[in-house]
Structure 1
């Protein structure tokens, strides 16, 4: 599954490269190749032809133009790089650029050299999208979450803390995953919630930050301040606010007062973050990967260690974690592209390969895959989507029962 990914960002009108980021063992592309990739897209555009993607024997290329100003091109040799993933990758990259430097500078390209320098602040976040770490929100467009056994206590503390700082937008994160958030934080656009968590997770650890950000959907031209404070290593509380209060004021007057009494619940979050939900939630032994999406709140729980770190090592998952993650991402892509299409007006991500799909007289709510080294099962309800990866020896006839019981367990007893 190993492969290379190269991302190019160019000024649409001039074709001037703004940056190039890569993953894997890939060489810097010569300017002639960059010019050719941009040129073929511009030629098609001049002929009223929209070129979005193409494939060679071992490489897939994807083009997107944003605001008639920025052109993004991605090339990948990764076998599991679907059209859905590449489309959302480019959308996430452009939104990350807006998040960090604002829309005005991207639309009004007055000084290209200055824009190149400003875009360096986006590199860590963009590189984290290319690296695809232990989060899946880049693909699902939902924020990765951790379900803590102390959710109620932490939620109450967060609400009081944020109100004391005269803000309405706040969240508690562990290793880039949201534990609890205020009501208005959840009212932000789904991609904004995901991007804010991704930004915090991609930055170097710091005791506190005062970071200017733009909301790509809600406020792309007017900046807000993102304040973050490290409560214990790996656990941060974040707020969105205006000119006040100052970072020093919040850190010295509010952080210790509200969060010092909750040191143990905060440490508990660290113990839960890899599994993403409490160890007291027992799952069937054949499950080796899980993705649960709350469709109403645009959040998800994702884990490759559904039985905890120690139990997973003792039992032996049977698949390397990277392989299991790739399978889960591909199964999610298949399901939402072919069987569980979104109700939104989002551009259709991929052509359907199953000819019989056009003959469906109903909307499928379940699907499964059986392969030599794994099996998968997916369920969609009005509020949730659940995607599971199983060991290959799990009986196919039992997958539906196990998946249904898992969904009931995760949504009623956890709950999520």
Structure 2
């Protein structure tokens, strides 16, 4: 089985569907951003063959050559995304989900209205630059896996219930129901309302925070691709410790100035030691001393009902193969089993795909080991928050708010 991401190049093209005008082109080589661009003639040919098929009522979705896989996908008859990958072991499933994440990122930062009603191509090109950093993180070798599983990457924090209480109290004090703690793009704890966010924003928001350069505080306008694709909301972030950020999703209020140091100290000073213990959980995801068999080199655990996942390739210290190789192997194994052995039937709803993913998890040789992990015991729950379906006390952010 080939290792996904082993050298090779990935090219991502975004075009206006009606005119075929390129909006941007992003590339990566060996998992790192690259400046290599495709010739305009190649871009035109790739888009032309797709449009030719549409005119004949034929949907061209993918093609494969000896060393390259190509996937096309149109969104709202307005945006066409094309991805070409020469990475070894790349599957169509991985590329299809990549395109879904890319379009979600575009909506998150630009809004659906600008993408479906293109009035000024040059202005749209400039606006889309804000999404480049996030999109590039999808093309590279990320430590996260939510782009593939479509579940939120989480960690298992120590004493998660105490962090949950502090988060709930703080969000209530500032007047929003949507809050979470994020370390390296992974959710440490979140409020009930945050967990009720739809896909893909539940995956994209922590990923966005993890992809941004360090900053003490941010007031970031975002759209919710599922919940509010045309009306922006505010994503407020505060750095509690280096690598650990507090995120709030809200409307016009509260202003960033209201989040003063005294309010932060009141709620977070009592749990400062717990916050410090969460910082190293970025790559490991499991707290020190977590009971895990020494022979497990990588772990992928999905809770498909809650749309959360735990992904780590560093549970056993410095052993071969390297963490990068383990990550590629585990991603490739997940993709292989999901796409090859349990392919979705044509026209099957997303629930069927989720059920097939669950069958994959059941057949995994680690099942017996995973069933004994105390993910909901005293150590803390995966990603914090309740696992039940209790409705939130406060409603989600709406255009009226």
**Given the two structures, how large is their TM-score scaled by the length of structure 2?**
0.87
Q: What is the alpha-carbon distance in structure 1 between the residues aligned to residue 359 and residue 231 of structure 2?
A: 43
Once the two structures are superposed, the pairs formed by residues 74-223 of structure 1 within 5 Å of their partners are 74-223=83-232
What whole-Å deviation, never above 9, does each CA across 1:227-265 have from its counterpart, x for those lacking one? 010001000010111111100111345223222232211
Identify which of 334, 337, 346 aligns with 2:336. 334
**C-alpha deviation, 1:281, in angstroms:** 1.9
Q: Please name the residue that 2:371 is paired with.
A: 407
**Partner Cα distance (1:251, 1:208) in 2:** 11
Contact persistence 1:80–1:326 (CA under 8 A): no
**Given the alignment of the two structures, is residue 345 of structure 1 paired with residue 354 of structure 2, yes or no?**
no
Contact 1:174 1:236 in 2 (8 A): yes
Return closer, same or farther for 1:338/1:54 CA change in 2, 3 Å cut-off: closer
Number of residue pairs aligned between Structure 1 and Structure 2? 367
Residues in 2 aligned to 1:7 and 1:270: alpha-carbon distance in whole angstroms? 33
Q: In structure 1, how many angstroms separate the alpha carbons of the residues matched to 2:235 and 2:99?
A: 24
SS at match of 1:92: helix
Q: Does the residue aligned with 1:257 lie in a helix, a strand or coil?
A: helix
Taking a change above 3 Å as real, the CA distance of residues 364 and 168 of structure 1, as seen in their structure-2 partners, is: closer
* Match of residue 14 from structure 2: 9
Tell whether the 8 Å contact from 1:4 to 1:26 is kept in structure 2 after alignment: no
Tell me how large the CA RMSD over aligned residues is: 2.1
Give per-residue Cα distances to partners, 1:131-173, cap 9 Å, x unaligned.
1311011100011111111211110000010011110111011
Name which of 371, 379, 391 aligns with 2:362.
Answer: 379
**Aligned residue number for residue 321 of structure 2:** 319
Q: What secondary structure, in the 3-state scheme, does the structure 2 residue paired with 1:287 have?
A: coil
Verify: 1:244 aligned to 2:253, yes or no: yes
How far off is 1:280 after superposition?
2.3
Alpha-carbon shift at residue 30 of structure 1 (Å): 1.3
Note if contact 1:379-1:403 (Cα within 8 Å) is conserved in structure 2. Answer: yes
Shift of 1:110: 0.2
- Mapped partners of 2:357, 2:327: distance in 1: 24
Q: Which residue of 1 aligns with 2:69?
A: 60
Q: Secondary structure at the match of 1:79?
A: coil
1:41, CA displacement in angstroms?
A: 0.3
Which ranges of structure 2 fall in alignment gaps of 5 or more residues? 1-5, 383-401
Hey, what does 1:305 align to over in structure 2? 314
Q: 1:158 to 1:301 in 2, by over 3 A?
A: same
- Give the 3-state SS of the residue equivalent to 1:63 in structure 2: strand
* Aligned match of 1:357: none
Match of 2:385 in 1: none
Displacement, 1:406? Answer: 2.9
| Cα distance in 1 between the residues matched to 2:352 and 2:304 | 18
Distance, in Å, in 2 between the alignment partners of 1:68 and 1:300 is: 32
Greater relative CO, 1 or 2 (CA 8 Å, sep 6+): 2
For structure 1, list consecutive stretches of 5 or more residues without a partner in the other structure: 350-362, 368-377, 381-386, 388-399
TM-score, normalising length: structure 1: 0.84
SS in 2 for 1:286: coil
1:63-119 CA-partner distances (Å, limit 9, x unpaired)? 000010000000010113211110000000001000001000001100000000000
